[in-house]
Structure formats: C-alpha cells, structure tokens
Chain A
Amino acid sequence: MSAKADSAPVALRWQRIRMIPNPWLRFGLLAVALAYFAWSVGALDINWHRVANGIPRAANMLTRMFPPDFGRWSLLFKGVLESVQMAFAASFFGMLLAIPLGICGAVNLVPRPVYLVARTLIILSRTFHEIIIAIFFVKIFGFGPLAGVLTLVVASTSFISKMLAEDIENMPPGQLEAIRATGAGFPKLLLYCVSPQVLPRYLGVSIYRLDANIRHSTVVGIVGAGGIGQVLAATFSRYDYDFSLAILITIVSLVFAGEFFSNWVRGHLR
C-alpha cells in the first residue's frame, strides 16, 4: 500500500451515519419542528389555570378511586355481557358481509367499475372513526346496543374485506388462469381456487377482528350505543370514581382475555 493511500482522509474522521445526511436539511427540519411545537402550543385554547389544578384533582380522583367498588357487580356483569354479545354478533355479520365486499374489492376477479365501488365503500367506512359512525346509528336507531352492533358491523366489514381483497389480489395469477381454463365459471372459481387459498388468513383476520370488536364494544357506549362503555361514561359524569375503576379493571381484563383467546385460536389455524 502506498503512503498516499494511507494518509487518505477516509480514516481521519469517523462520521455517524445519519438518517438525513445533509446537515442543513437536518437542522432545518429540527428548527421547523421546534417552531411548530411553540406555535401549536400557543395556538391551542388551553386554560392553564385549570390545568394547574389538574395535579391536586388527579390526586383527589385517585383517592376516590380506591378501593375499586365491585359491589355493584350485577350492573357491571350486565354491561360486560352486553359488550361481549355485541362483539360476537358484529363479528359474525362482519365476516359474512366482508365476503362479497372483499371479492368485489379484488381487482383480479371483478370488472373495474365493481372494484372501484367496493374500494370506495371500504375506504369511506375505514376513514371515519367508529364513534362517528356510532353517533349516526344512535340518531337513526336510538340509544342502545343495536346502534353499537351496527357500528361494529360496519367497522368489521370494512376491516375484514380490505384484508380479504388484498389476500385475493396477492394470489398467484396462474392458479386462477388454470381453473378458468378448465371451463369453470365464477362461482366454481371461488370455490376451487380462491377459497382454499385465502380461507386460513380470512379466519385469522376474523378472529383478530373479534378481539378488536371486544375492545371497541367497550367504547361505543360512550355515545350511547350500549355495552359497558355506556355504564362507564355514566360513572364519570356522576363522579362515581370507585365504580369507574372497577369497570376499567374489568375492561382491561376482558381485553386481555380477548387477546389471549385470539392468539390461541390463530396459533391453531394452519
């Protein structure tokens, strides 16, 4: 090796590899971010006096939360049961409705206009938060679990059908061609090619969605759509914090159980 190569500047300075190599850009972005934070905190309509009171309030709230009051367990149990039932019903109908919607949302199976309509429906219902949808159902169907179930049906359908459509689109095109080439029509194509290939994932996604529905069923109640959420919202407005904590603990355990169940079932699906 020549002396010249040895003294090359390469070895003289070690530089950390940066995400954004250009230092101007890097510090520029940092400055913009800081400016944004300053501006947005200033722009927000925050009642600092009220916020300052927050710490003693939180302490007060905590003391009132303990010990959690499980005394009204029958009310608690009824709410939880309702949430779980809402989740079951919604997952079932979501699974059913997602099949046609998912198929229509797969570009390799259906004509373009059908695909576009299906995808628009899926995107539309995915964009709006469950609670926005819930409030509309509450307006149409009144307070109670029906609005909650319908909300969760909409959310599950769009979720499962999006996954289903993507799985169908990811199928190797040759298999579809081969079955088409035997003279099978569309229904038989679904039966002998699409369904065996996507069924395991579809079931997995559906089970996952059941778990998600259990989680969501605990909140749609906040706008009056049934379930334990409705009970929870009421306790907060009555400052009934020890019962709130009991409900929260129950929700967390329920969510935990749901997740455990869903993982267990999905582990057993091949």
Chain B
Amino acid sequence: MTAEQHAQKHPQVWRRFSPRDTLLRYIWYLGAVAVVVWSISMLDIPWFYFLDAHLQAYDLAYRMWPPDLEFLETLANPLLETIHIATLGTAATVVIAFPIAFLAARNTSPNAFTWFVGRFILVTSRSVNTVVWGLLFVAIFGPGPMAGIWAIAFRSIGFMGKLVAEAIEEIDVGVVEAIESTGASRLQVLWYGILPQVLPVIYGTTVYRWDINIRESTVLGFVGAGGIGILLYSSINQFQWQEVSLMLVAVFGVVLISEFVSAAVRQRIT
C-alpha cells in the first residue's frame, strides 16, 4: 500500500459535526442569548440594587434570628386552617372533577360537544393559577377560608380531571364490553366496569394533589383567602421578622411532612 492510499484510508481529519451543523448550533445559541438580552434590557432592571443586595440579605437574616417562639400560639390556628383549606379543597375537587373527567374522556363522553365542554373546563381550570382563583373567590365570598377552599378546588379540578380522563381513556375495554353485554345500564357500566379500573388513579392523584395544595394554601392568605398567608403577609408588612422566620420554619415543616405522607400513601396504594 502506498503512503497515499494509506492516508486516504486512514484520514487524519475527523469531524463530529459538519460545518453546517456547527453553524446552525451557534445560530441557536446566539438566538437564545439575543432573546435573553432583549428581555433583560426591556425589563429596566435597576442593577445598582445588586450592589448592596448581600448587605440587605444579611441584614434581613440578622433581624430574623432568633425566631419568636412566643408567636407559636398565635400561629397554631392559622396553620391548622391552612391544612383544612387544602384538605377540604381537595375533597371538593374529587367530587367535582370526577364527572367532568367522564365528559372529557373520549370513550365515555356522550358526544363531541360534551367532550369539548369537558376539555374546555379542564384547560381553563389549569391555566388560571390558584392565587388568581383566590382573587376571584375573595371578590365573591369575601375574605376568609371559604374563598381559599374554592380557589384550591377550582385549580385542582383541571389537574385531577386531566389525569383521571387519561386513565379512563386507557382502561381495558374488554371488561366494559363484558358488562355491557349483560344488558347493564349506562350507570351500571360506569359503576362496575369503569370505576374499579380508575379508582387507584383517583386515589393516587388525590393524595398527590393534596400535597401540592398544602403548599399552595400557604400563600392564599396573600390575597385574603385564609390560612397562614394572612399572618405572614401582615408580619412582613409590619417588619416583624422574627415572627416571619418562625412562620417560615412552620411552613417548611408542614410542607415537608405532607410531602412525606403523600409519598408514603402513594407507595402503599400502587
């Protein structure tokens, strides 16, 4: 073999990406950076705030320490209320989301129009944040836990309804057909054929959503919809930082425990 052939067969150059690929990749990078630079420049960010941000943060931390333990008494009830709001809101969700899920599942919805309505409700529910729902319900029911419960429920309907509808669409049709063939009514088919199959999903998503709702209900008070958020907001506005730090610790604990409980229950279920 001559040296030339040799060089041809065993080239010294190897490229992972063609120049075109490389160029394209850099264009993507550049585009992303350009979008970010544009976004930031439009936001009019007062950069000089960053100069003493660390001092501010340090100052805040200093004022927060130590947590005001005497505040614990005042804290207990709102904290409990937070948990109630999440739980009752989740319970309401189950009742409401279930029929809507049947509307929004292709195989159980009576017709195309009901299907569309079901989907529309689910999408709207999910697109509006819990806190925004809170604003709305505070305007309706006035400030307090009632608004919170409905805010939680209205946001969770979309979440649960979507997952349950997906579960309904994936059920084993054989079982349903078997029950239909016995001449069962629509409701009976639903009760004996479909419900048992989606029940585990309903339990699972309920517990999962409950855990998310605990976290959400800690801030509902910021718009007046009950729970510990009301207290947190007023303490912050009155610069009672030692109360604030205690509340943060409490919130941290509750959220962590609920996450743990939810994970444990879900593990038992599945």
Residues of A within 8 A of B (CB): 16-17, 19, 36-37, 40-41, 43-47, 50-51, 53-54, 57-58, 61, 81-82, 84-86, 88-89, 92, 123-124, 127-129, 131-132, 135-136, 139-142, 144-146, 149, 215-216, 218-219, 222-223, 226, 229, 232-233, 236, 239, 241, 248, 251-252, 255-256
Contacts and interface: CB of A to CB of B under 8 A. Distances in A.
Contacts of A85: 38-40, 42-43
Contact of A89 (B39, B132, B218, B232): B39
27 contacts: A16-B196, A43-B84, A44-B84, A45-B144, A50-B142, A51-B142, A53-B142, A57-B139, A85-B38, A85-B40, A88-B35, A88-B36, A89-B36, A127-B252, A129-B215, A132-B219, A132-B251, A139-B236, A142-B49, A145-B45, A146-B45, A149-B43, A226-B43, A236-B136, A241-B139, A248-B128, A251-B127
A19 B201 CA distance: 12
Given A40-B87, A57-B139, A135 B248 contact: no
Interface string B166-201: 000000000000000000000000000000100110
B30 interface: no
Contacts of A226: 43
B129 A215 contact: yes
Nearest to A89: B39
A239 to B, nearest CB: 8
Interface string B195-218: 010011001000000000001101
A82 B219 CA distance: 23
Contact of A222 (B42, B135, B200, B226): B135
Interface string B46-73: 1001000100110010000000000000
A132 to B, nearest CB: 6
B223 interface: yes
B26 interface: no
A136 B81 CA distance: 23
Contacts of A128: 248, 251-252, 255
Interface of B: 32, 35-36, 38-40, 42-46, 49, 53, 56-57, 60, 80-81, 84-85, 87-88, 91, 123-124, 126-129, 131-132, 135-136, 139-142, 144-146, 196, 199-200, 203, 215-216, 218-219, 222-223, 226, 232-233, 236, 248, 251-252, 255-256, 269
Contacts of B226: 44-45
A115 to B, nearest CB: 19
Nearest to A140: B56
Contact of A57 (B140, B203, B236): B140
Task: Tell me what chain A mostly uses at the interface: helix, strand, loop, or mixed.
Answer: helix
B124 A252 contact: yes
Contact of A146 (B42, B49, B132, B218): B49
A200 to B, nearest CB: 15
A86 to B, nearest CB: 7
B222 A89 contact: no
A149 B45 contact: yes
Nearest to A87: B39
A256 B127 contact: yes
Contacts of A144: 44, 46
A82 B84 CA distance: 36
Contacts of A84: 39
Given A37-B88, A251-B127, A129 B39 contact: no
A124 B60 CA distance: 17
Given A141-B49, A236-B139, A50 B144 contact: yes
Given A86-B39, A129-B215, A131-B219, A218 B145 contact: no
A236 B216 CA distance: 20
Contacts of B46: 141-142, 144, 146
Given A16-B196, A40-B87, A127 B141 contact: no
Nearest to B81: A44
B132 A248 contact: yes
A222 B223 contact: yes
Given A222-B222, A252-B123, 5 more contacts: A149-B45, A215-B129, A239-B139, A251-B128, A255-B127
A232 B132 contact: yes
B39 to A, nearest CB: 4
Nearest to A82: B43
Nearest to B256: A127
Contacts of A145: 43-45
A215 B91 CA distance: 25
B218 A132 contact: yes
Contacts of B255: 127-128
A86 B43 contact: yes
Contacts of A218: 129, 132
A92 B35 CA distance: 10
A239 B60 CA distance: 35
B87 A47 contact: no
A219 B145 contact: no
